[in-house]
Amino acid sequence: SILVIGALGQIGTELTAALRLKYGVDAVTASDRHPVNEKTSYVSPYVQLNVLDKAALQALVQEKEITHIYHLAAVLSATGEQNPLMAWDINMQGLLNVLEVAREEKLEQIFWPSSIAVFGPDAPKADCPQDGVTNPSTVYGISKIAGEQWCRYYFEKYGLDVRSVRYPGLISYSAPPGGGTTDYAVAIFHEAIKTGSYECFLAEDTRLPMLYMDDAIRATLELMDAPAEHISIRTSYNLSGLSFSAAELAAEIQKHIPELKVSYQPDSRQAIADSWPQSIDDTVARNDWGWKPKFDVGLMTEDMLLNLNDKYAEKAN
């Protein structure tokens, strides 16, 4: 059966739902470090698990007869810069615990997300290639590039079927992101509906690689379903979907909510954003396992507003 680690996070909530739709609710155990409460009831069967506790992870894998792990728990770029060594410990030790348990328990497949944050200021800004130079500026990026090398090591040395994609900034309406530099692209939708004004923490011309969550989840499932012999990248696949500036996103939302007012007050996250590519080349993913995004900025904006309006309408009732 399947274990999702970090099931309460921005990706985890949606990946848990998608995996349950595909394999059945009882085939997927959701876990996160939070204790069981009313929020976790939405993703039950749920187990509290701190991925830094290797023994607890191993016991859970044995008890639930886990064969696949989707390990999503991590500290993101902005939060990581506030507490570098904590971010390194959680991101690195968490992954190593998963890889070791997977090896010892002979698990069938592991998924682990990397990020375009593995690229730094000396990587190509436009259409950054799969083999672009990776000198990350953030601890988060360092933990992701190190993690990619560990994934490849466990594949080559132990034959562990670990697969990974370098997610761009992810935009979704289900669970709020936590501590990312691209979170502005989610917050702006909520503020557009709630207050009609948004103060963006990045400059208006900041252009970053982004992906709509529906596409990100589909990419993950398609990668995991691809025949092993088609997988030529055992570090992590570049993934691309959208690329837009903060101003372009604001303008797209204003087509639906003309009264939206956006101001731009760059903060410490600007330096992180400026260190990343503005767009990504994902030719290798397209060639190896047929990746193709479906959502452009227009479709994404419509889908986000539609679902958030419903969400806020429910709250109002």
For the chain, helix (H) and strand (E) counts, in that order, are 12, 14
Least distance in angstroms from the C-beta of 268 to ligand VAH: 13
Q: Quick one: which of 207, 216, 215, 218 has its CA closest to 185?
A: 207
Q: What is the x/- site pattern for ligand VAH, positions 51-80, by CB under 6 A?
A: -------------------------xx---
d(CA 276, CA 192): 26
* 116 contributes a contact to ligand VAH by CB under 6 A: yes
For residues 155, 161, 162, 167, the Cα torsion angle rounded to the nearest 10 degrees is: 130
Residue closer to ligand VAH (CB basis): 20 or 144: 144
Structure tokens at 86: 């904590």
254: Cβ contacts below 8 Å, ≥ 6 apart: 260
* 2 contributes a contact to ligand VAH by CB under 6 A: no
Pairing of strands 207-212, 242-245: antiparallel
Q: Site for ligand VAH (CB under 6 A): which residue of 13, 164, 181, 301?
A: 181
Q: Site for ligand VAH (CB under 6 A): which residue of 182, 236, 240, 301?
A: 182
Residue closer to ligand VAH (CB basis): 81 or 102: 81
Residue closer to ligand VAH (CB basis): 94 or 177: 177
* 117 contributes a contact to ligand VAH by CB under 6 A: yes
Least distance in angstroms from the C-beta of 78 to ligand VAH: 6
d(CA 285, CA 206): 26
| Residue indicated by tokens 């010892």 | 104
Q: Which spans of this chain sit near ligand VAH (rule: CB under 6 A)?
A: 76-77, 115-117, 140, 168-170, 177, 180-182
